[in-house]
Amino acid sequence: MRFRSPIGLPEWTMAGIGLFSLVQLISPLSRSKYIPICLISLALSNLAPRLFTYWESRAEGLWERRLWRTQQIPWEEILRVSGWPGTSGKGFQIDFARSAPLSDRGTIYASPADRDSFLAELRQHAPHAEMNI
């Protein structure tokens, strides 16, 4: 199951600014092309991380995708799931530890739009993990 990052008012505002700037860019009445180009770049740089961030629950583990980076954490390596400080209870901090030969520790910060279903998936696939929600 795939869980996407939420898109709220700030993201829709940036999309509106980008669309308005695109219209200004192609308008024959526009005097300057630099301001719309800057605004379109700003909108894309703020929207891209939200649009291309998701977490996927698969049989082999939890997958996180952020732009071009993908990370897979097997279910048995998830140690703890807790609230992500500063997100008003909307996000999760998922701590994991990899076994040898990788022997790595890390954290995934997840803030899915469907928080309850995401938490149910974590509880189903990683019942051994400590849940501090």
Q: Residue range 129-133: average pLDDT?
A: 87
pTM: 0.72
φ, ψ (nearest 5 deg) of residue 91: -115, 170
Specify burial of residue 60 (Cβ count, 10 A radius: 0-12, 13-18, 19+).
Answer: exposed
Count of beta carbons in the 10 Å neighbourhood of residue 67 = 10
Count of beta carbons in the 10 Å neighbourhood of residue 92 = 23
Given a cut of 70, whether residue 113 has pLDDT beyond it is yes
Measure the CA–CA gap between 125 and 73, rounded to whole angstroms. Answer: 12
What pLDDT, on the 0 to 100 scale, is given for residue 95?
Answer: 92
What HEC string does 62-73 produce?
EEEEECCEEEEE
Report all structural domains of the chain as residue ranges with CATH numbers, in order of start.
2-51 (no CATH), 57-132 (2.30.29.30)
